[in-house]
Structure formats: structure tokens, C-alpha cells
Amino acid sequence: MSARPFRSVLYIPGSKERALDKARGLAADAIIFDLEDAVAPEEKVAARAVLAEALTAGGYGARARIVRVNGLDTAWGAEDLAVFGAHPAVEALLIPKVNTAADLAAVAAKAPGKPLWAMMETALGMLNAAEIAAYPGLQGMVMGTNDLAKELGSRYRPDRLAMQAGLGLCLLAARAHGRVIVDGVYNAFKDDDGLRAECAQGRDMGFDGKTLIHPAQLEIANAAFAPSDAEIDLAKRQIAAFNAAQAAGQGVAVVDGKIVENLHIVTAQATLGKARMIAALAG
């Protein structure tokens, strides 16, 4: 998992100047400046200029700045890459509908050196998740559950049963290759209880955070994917107990009636590291 927080990853339309300005003050860990689904075809060219100007003006602080470009199979993709592949304020490019690692290589050829993120939203992408995650220039993966549901022909269920195979394949691939991975959006942005439940499910599965479609969802996602007070306390006690055990010549410790080994300490240190990063971001 990434030490840098990606609890809340908010989509912002690249064509909306007011939304781009408002995003500077939102408590999002990362922003996806969207030139693809959130922008109508007739607005694509103008949106490119609007977004480039907003990013040049800056003011987004420590938030990760990711631009979702249009695919290279569209009329706008190549120019999106020409503008944002070299833009110094853009930390990474998010590529839609990645089916294979070759899709990423094609983008990298036009935007050399820029970190890439992959939208995982097709059946073929799910089946090639390991190959995609292994691509050297890849930094993160984003689940596109709406598009995946459309491809699968699946119905919505609160337990996301139809999504589990795809979510699991992508999680395994991301963790095997050390990539950030964030869960798909929750469409009912006024349904706090539903969002909270889906965030909890995603956190339990191992996602780093959740993509969001509305600022009203930020607080719930930030809370769900942050270490809780109980987790922080347990991590501190595990580290202290393990250090004491090692000082006494023992290889394991016991905390709350459970064995604590070195692997638990790695997790505990990661928990405390993430808590520190979140505190720094808030400060």
C-alpha cells in the first residue's frame, strides 16, 4: 500500500472553471481532472485549454493531480497527451479503458517519463490485470465499476457480488507489483449510509481509497480509509511489545492475546506512516 494517502480521489470535470476553482479548497487526497466521460464531445477542445490554465495557476496544494485523458482511439487523445504529458503540474495521466500493457506503452511513447494510471473498466482489462500492473511506468489503478457493469450486463447489488471477481483480480495484481489501487465510484451521492457501507467493504478488501463523484462524499471516504484510533493504538502497542521481545532475545510478542511477528510489525509501521502522512496533509 502507498504511504501517501489516496483515501479520497475526486473526479472534477476539466471543462468547469467553477469546479476547478472550488477543488483547490476541498479535502481530497487526490483529484482526477477529467477530460473524458465528464466532458461532452463539443466541449473537449475548450476543456483542454481551461484545464491547462487552471493547472498552471496552481493552488491545489499537496493533493495528487491526475489528468484523465481521452483514449488514443478518439479524436482528442493525442492532443491531450501533447498538452498534459509535458505539463509540469500534472503528476500522472489516467488512461481510460486499458485492456493490455500495450495500451500503456502506446501512451508512454507520446508522453515519455510521465507516470501513468490505468482505468480498469473492461472485461479484457480484468483478465489482463497482472500484465497491466507489471508495466514499468504504471503508478496506480482505478476501478471503473460503472463501465465494467455495463460490459458484464450485471445488476447493482449492495454487496457488489458481480464485481468481486474483477475487483479481486485487480487488487491482487496491484499488490503483487506495488501499485496504488482505488475503488470505483458510488453513484448515489446523497446516500451516506450506502457510501459508508461500500467504503467499508473496499477498505476491508484492501483498496487504498475510493473514487468520488461529489464533494459531499469526501468526509465519509477520508474517514473510512484512514487508520482508526484503535488501529493506531494497536500498531503502537505491537511495535513496543515486539521491540521489548527482541531485546529479551525472543522472536515473537503477544498483544491482546495474539501472536505478533515481524510481518505484523511491517503492517503496524505502515499504519503509523499513513497516519502521519494524513496528519501532514491536513496541516
- Is residue 268 very low, low, confident or very high in pLDDT (cuts 50, 70, 90)? very high
Task: Say if CB 217 and CB 15 are below 8 A apart.
Answer: no
- Shared domain check, 255 and 159: no
Q: DSSP assignment, residue 207?
A: -
Grid coordinates in use for 109? Answer: 511513447
CATH number for the domain that contains residue 117: 3.20.20.60
- Shared domain check, 217 and 250: no
- Is residue 280 very low, low, confident or very high in pLDDT (cuts 50, 70, 90)? confident
Provide the domain count of the chain.
Answer: 2
- Shared domain check, 184 and 251: no
- Shared domain check, 136 and 243: no
Instruction: Give the residue, 260 or 1, on which the prediction is more confident.
Output: 260
Residue 2 within a domain: no
pLDDT in tens, 142-200: 999 999 999 999 999 999 999 999 999 999 999 999 999 999 999 999 999 999 999 99
Distant-in-sequence, close-in-space partners of 82: CB < 8 Å, separation ≥ 6: 110
Q: What is the mean pLDDT of residues 251-266?
A: 95
- Shared domain check, 197 and 68: yes
- Shared domain check, 114 and 235: no
- Shared domain check, 179 and 43: yes
Residue 3 within a domain: no
- Shared domain check, 55 and 26: yes
- Segments forming the whole domain that contains residue 150: 8-224
Is pTM beyond 0.85? Reply is yes
- Shared domain check, 186 and 82: yes
- Shared domain check, 252 and 182: no
Residue 56 within a domain: yes
- Shared domain check, 252 and 130: no
Burial class (CB in 10 A: 0-12, 13-18, 19+), 128: buried
Closest CA to 14 of 57, 42, 60, 46: 46
Distant-in-sequence, close-in-space partners of 271: CB < 8 Å, separation ≥ 6: 227, 231, 232, 235
Task: Say if CB 97 and CB 123 are below 8 A apart.
Answer: no
- pLDDT for residue 50: 98
pLDDT in tens, 198-254: 999 999 999 999 999 999 999 999 999 999 999 999 999 999 999 999 999 998 999
- Shared domain check, 128 and 46: yes
- pLDDT for residue 7: 98
Among candidate residues 201, 224, 247, the one where a domain is terminated: 224
Residue 70 within a domain: yes
